[in-house]
């Protein structure tokens, strides 16, 4: 079973990062392991009992055996359903790596056998004009789990993301291929892509969805 602290990224938005993170947390919970997932920044949030909440963050909370408060799980929640940096600008806020580090300090102080920090969108999603979520992942220093959406172009997207992770000085701990609902590839082609990426990345898939 997977143990440790990991940053979960994707080759694009909507590739299944939350589903993968929740599945890993559920596996740990079934094994009676202490685990939790967090999502530092999220856009497209809705009002729930007077508080902006994101459905992905709430799914992580539900799958975690350690129950953190919503504000600890997702300290930066924005209503506009656009990229996080633009969503923050629309409500008069700015985002930075330093803010995310400070905002997640309390949550990440909890000890557990498995801790997952889920990003937003892909690896280089901006936080501001100069910093990206990759810079935040670099500040954490956690190994990375990459979720690959099995759509046309996925090999290119996956290899570019893996190279960017390497250039950030971080290790690719695992990757997960996911046939997203929008995928138009036949199963045979998906299997061929998985085989190619397994050889190219030098790492077998952690899960196959």
The 10s digit of each residue's pLDDT in 110-119 is: 999 999 999 9
The CATH code of the domain at 4-201 is 3.40.50.300
Say yes or no to pLDDT of 186 above 70.
yes
Q: Which of 17, 39, 67, 130 is catalytic?
A: 39
Tell me what pLDDT residue 19 has: 95
Residue 146 CA, chain-centre distance (Å), reads 8
List the chain domain ranges.
4-201
Which tokens go with 132?
Answer: 């990206």
Closest CA to 62 of 35, 42, 41: 35
Local structure of 57: helix, strand or coil: helix
Task: Compute the average pLDDT of residues 56-63.
Answer: 98
In the residue annotation, 39 being an active-site residue is answered as: yes
């Amino acid at each position: 079973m997977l143990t440790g602290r990991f940053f979960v990224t994707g080759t694009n938005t909507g590739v299944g990062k939350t589903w993968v993170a929740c599945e890993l947390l559920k596996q740990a919970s079934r094994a009676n392991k202490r685990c939790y997932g967090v999502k530092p920044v999220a856009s497209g949030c809705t009002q729930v009992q007077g508080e902006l909440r994101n459905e992905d963050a709430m799914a992580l909370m539900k799958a975690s055996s350690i129950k953190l408060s919503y504000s600890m799980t997702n300290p930066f929640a924005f209503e506009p359903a656009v990229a996080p940096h633009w969503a923050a600008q629309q409500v008069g806020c700015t985002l930075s790596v330093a803010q995310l580090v400070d905002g997640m300090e309390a949550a990440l102080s909890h000890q557990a056998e498995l801790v997952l920090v889920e990003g937003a969108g892909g690896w280089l999603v901006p936080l501001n004009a100069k910093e990206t979520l990759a810079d935040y992942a670099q500040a954490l220093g956690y190994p990375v789990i990459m979720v690959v959406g099995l759509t046309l172009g996925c090999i290119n997207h996956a290899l570019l993301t893996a190279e960017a992770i390497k250039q950030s000085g971080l290790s690719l701990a695992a990757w997960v291929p996911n046939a997203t609902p929008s995928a138009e590839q036949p199963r045979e082609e998906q299997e061929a892509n998985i085989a190619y990426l397994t050889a190219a990345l030098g790492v077998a898939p952690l899960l196959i969805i």
